[in-house]
């Protein structure tokens, strides 16, 4: 095996050490397995939800975002947004929704590879996945800010509402409407997966860093 590949994958653990310290060396991979499962399950669950509260809608209007689609009262909300000059929600995050499932599968593959690497390169594979929940919320905020700050001045009620930025989490006001947004179960699971990854990196360092130092000395 080429030397640079050995440096990337890190030192291997012999069978005697595996039998003697099975938990020590198996825990990082086990935690990464848990993180992979959580991410896969989150694919099928809502990542973000919002209610639009107004007197004329007794049951409110509801919007649900998955990693690849928007569901709920999208058309009704778009109809209201049209009057204030806000673009259709279907135009937001089109690329993100198109590639969302593939990105999640790619993240799962990265974590699978990370479980076989016993060097510092593991961090480079895990970090992008770990920060995904934060990137999701930041991307959502940027789209909502872009749509709310760039209203069509020729819309019928363009003068009734000033440019706005609906909060991605919590409560906000848009004219006479109140928005209430909260994280979906999918986003919560991906956040839990990020915490699990953090623990995985901690136990990975504790298990394999001594082996890396020993191999350098050798």
The whole domain housing 147 covers 16-208
Residue 168 lies in a domain: yes
- pLDDT at site 54: 83
In a domain, 34, yes or no: yes
Q: Is residue 55 part of a domain?
A: yes
Across all residues in the chain, what is the average pLDDT?
Answer: 89
Is residue 6 scored above 70 in pLDDT?
no
- pLDDT at residue 98, rounded to an integer: 95
Phi, then psi, of 151 in degrees rounded to 5 = -80, 150
pLDDT in tens, 43-92: 999 999 999 998 888 999 999 999 999 999 999 999 988 888 999 999 99
Give the residue, 78 or 161, on which the prediction is more confident.
78
- What is the count of structural domains for the chain? 1
- Is residue 189 domain-resident? yes
Asked whether residue 8 is assigned to any structural domain, the reply reads no
> Does a structural domain hold residue 10?
no
Q: Check: pTM over 0.75? Answer yes or no.
A: yes
- What average pLDDT score do residues 84-112 get? 94
Residue 116 lies in a domain: yes
The mean-pLDDT minimum among 57-66, 98-107, 148-157 falls in 148-157
pLDDT band at 216 (very low <50, low <70, confident <90, very high): low
What was the pLDDT predicted at 2?
57
Secondary structure of the chain in HEC code, one letter for each residue: CCHHHHHHHCCCCCHHHHHHCHHHHHHHHHHHHHHHHHHHHHCCCCCEEEEEEECCEEEEEEEEECCCCEEECHHHHHHHHHHHCCCCHHHCCHHHHHHHHHHHHHHHHHHHHHCCCCCCHHHHHHHHHHCHHHHHHHHHHHHHHHHHHCCCCCCCCCCCCCCCCCCCCEEEEECCEEEEEEECHHHHHHHHHHHHHHHHHHHHHHHHHHHHHHHHHC
**Residue 68 located in a structural domain:** yes
């Amino acid at each position: 095996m080429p030397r640079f590949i050995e440096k990337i994958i890190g030192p291997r653990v012999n069978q005697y050490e595996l039998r003697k310290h099975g938990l020590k060396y198996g825990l990082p991979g086990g935690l990464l397995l848990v993180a992979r499962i959580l991410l896969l399950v989150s694919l099928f669950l809502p990542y973000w939800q919002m209610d639009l509260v107004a007197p004329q809608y007794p049951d409110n209007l509801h919007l649900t975002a998955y990693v690849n689609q928007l569901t709920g009262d999208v058309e009704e909300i778009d109809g209201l947004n049209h009057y204030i000059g806000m673009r259709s929600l279907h135009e937001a995050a089109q690329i993100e929704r198109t590639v969302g499932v593939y990105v999640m599968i790619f993240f799962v593959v990265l974590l699978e590879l990370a479980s076989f690497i016993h060097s510092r390169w593991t961090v480079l594979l895990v970090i992008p996945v770990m920060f995904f929940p934060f990137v999701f919320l930041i991307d959502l905020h940027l789209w909502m800010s872009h749509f709310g700050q760039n209203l069509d001045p020729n819309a019928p009620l363009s003068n009734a509402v000033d440019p706005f930025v609906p909060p991605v989490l919590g409560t906000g006001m848009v004219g006479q409407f109140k928005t209430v947004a909260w994280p979906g179960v999918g986003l919560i699971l991906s956040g839990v997966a990020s915490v699990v990854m953090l623990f995985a990196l901690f136990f990975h360092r504790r298990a394999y860093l001594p082996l890396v130092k020993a191999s350098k000395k050798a």
